[in-house]
Amino acid sequence: MCVFARGKEVGLVFFFFFFGVAAMFTSTWRSLAPRPLNRVTLLGAMHEVQRGFLGQSSVFQFTLTCLLFEPPKRDQADKKPIATPPSPTAKGGASQFVKEQYTVRCMGDEAYTEALNNTLEAGCIVRVIGRLKTFEVAEGGKKQLFPTILVEQGRWSHVALLHSLRRQRRDWQLQNALTETRNSK
């Protein structure tokens, strides 16, 4: 930048300097684009799988059950130290694990929902990244708000398969085939 220039030259030099620096950081600004504040990441088992249409877009919907750990309250923590983590199936005392269920709605074109339908099935363990939104539903004359996780095709949201019973069955079949060929030699 020219310090000794006066008048229009200072303006032109500043203009080229500013936009040259701005061009360098354009890719950085895109990666730091604002994301929704209501973005959530959940991990759980899916069930109650449904497929259909909502307006013009195809929808793949399921219920996600998450197991949450709630730490003991302060007065309970002072009474007894925890040597081992409590079992979620333990019958005695207050359970520290809580199950929560969320409706997950995956929206996009038909090819997207068809791919989800072919890959995911009830009982799969999935990771969901999407937007938390509440929908008003009228049931029996009452209007209630229900939380829903929206997964929109190509918008910082996705569903990832972590474990599948179908995949596990195939792994066992492969393992059995390998042991049979090893034992036959």
- DSSP class of residue 122 equals T
Q: What is the CA radius of gyration of the chain?
A: 27
Closest CA to 36 of 156, 160, 159, 158: 156
Closest CA to 105 of 147, 144, 145, 149: 149
Instruction: Could you list the beta-strand ranges (E) of 94-157.
Output: 97-108, 125-139, 142-152
- DSSP class of residue 73 equals P
Give the span between the Cα atoms of 16 and 5, in whole angstroms. 14
Give the span between the Cα atoms of 155 and 33, in whole angstroms. 12
Q: What Cα–Cα distance (Å) separates residue 105 from each residue in 101, 137, 154?
A: 13, 15, 14
Taking only the tens place, the pLDDT of each residue in 15-36 is: 444 444 444 455 555 555 566 6
Query: Is residue 107 within 8 Å of residue 54, measured between CB atoms?
Result: yes
Query: Is residue 152 within 8 Å of residue 137, measured between CB atoms?
Result: no
- DSSP class of residue 38 equals T
Q: What is the pLDDT along the chain (185 residues), one digit of tens a residue?
A: 444 445 444 444 444 444 444 444 555 555 555 666 788 898 999 999 888 888 888 899 999 998 887 777 766 555 555 545 555 554 544 558 888 899 999 998 888 888 888 888 888 898 999 999 888 888 888 888 888 999 988 777 888 888 887 665 555 555 565 455 445 54
pLDDT of residue 105: 92
**DSSP H or E stretch at residue 8:** helix 8-24
Query: What pTM value is reported for the model?
Result: 0.60
Cα dihedral 17, 20, 23, 29, rounded to 10, equals -30
Domains of the chain: 1-33 (no CATH), 36-184 (2.40.50.140)
pLDDT of residue 177: 57
